[in-house]
A and B are shown apart, each in its own frame.
Chain A
Amino acid sequence: MKTNDVPTTPTPLNEHYSLRVNGRDLPVQDAWIGESLLYVLRERLGLPGAKGACEQGECGSCTVIMDGSAVCSCLVLAASATDSEILTVEGLGPDGSLTDVQQAFLDAGGVQCGFCTPGFIVAVHHLLDEIPSPSDLEIKEALSGNICRCTGYGRILEAVRTVAERRSQES
């Protein structure tokens, strides 16, 4: 804070708007207008899958899909996303079942502490939608905005390769 004066409080929290998340319109009530999309998803809409770990778009833990683009939800003002279609990790698998990407992360050992995992899962779905058969370098570059501190990325690379291969065999 830059001032020594008593600052004004964010309360009363009286903003009302709605966000379209995972195909549903969700009302956001009594919010402070300065809240990030990450905060609103996690603290107001009961969707804690996106994680906060750097607050400046460096680590990718908060990755969600917004109008078809992968974005860091910590850098998006929630109130500016009212006209957008938002997809979070919770909206990926139909009826609570695992997607092929989620299953591959488990099979390949791509999950340890799991904190970066939801962001990675969303980013990998986005990558494979854009580039169905990526090279290793394309995988690494596309996911270089997602930091994992546990795995050293080896098992995650294996998971992505596996999904791409399976999808190409099926199609």
Chain B
Amino acid sequence: MSWFRKEKRGPKLQPKKVIPDNLWVKCESCGEILYKKELEKNLMVCPRCDYHYGFEPFQYIDLLLDRDTFVERDEGLQSQDPLKFVDRMKYSERLESAVKKTGRNEAVVAGEGVVGGVCEVQFGAMDFSFIGGSMGSVVGEKIARSIRRSIEKRQPLVIVSRSGGARMMEGIFSLMQMAKTSAFLGRMHELGLPYISILVNPTTGGVTASFSMLGDINIAEPGALIGFAGPRVIKQTIRQDLPEGFQRSEFLLEHGMLDLVVPRKQMKNTLVQLLNFMVD
């Protein structure tokens, strides 16, 4: 649940805020002055240091699915406030402002589309700008329904995870979304249908500890923070500095938690290639 605190060090996750209203931007990671159009053309990846800036759900849809094939599902689902939760502000107001800010109802966009000309897939991409991509009842339900459609239509499932974890303001209901999504993945697992999980910066907490780590194939973008506990919590607990590169994609690959680390530019080709091996 590290999503609620702003990271003090390291590059910011939202490139929009760091790009001033002119043609040039300074890379938050390496300091290089970049031509804004060039950065955008390079899929928001710094050409010099390879830092992957945050991508939004529809950018992943454009990146990974064939042009104009995506059909959104369940976009009307809206979070309730089962605990009538109030911290420094009301959860209902927090939701309202997230909807206003993102133009979307919740922290995941789900639907179906085509990959590589022939393969129809169920597809979901999480939205970090919606309350830190946190998983409440709606995220859980939309992921669960995507899995259910995969089962019904016998189609592969592809999910891009980008989340700080559970949504505290939904209390136990948010925890139970880990159970719900994993339950449907259990069902799917028995049926010989491929699930490719793509983890991008950052994926932590209850999302990592449920559907994100359960892909037949787990792929990450380079340099993504991926873990169960957030680095701040670990640091507080063990009272030591964390090793260089700890909880980054390359660290997880080395420790056997990922199948592949794939740059954004090659993600679609990799996806097509993998699906071709697994789908008739």
Are A and B associated in one complex? no
A-to-B contact residues, CB < 8 Å: none
B-to-A contact residues, CB < 8 Å: none
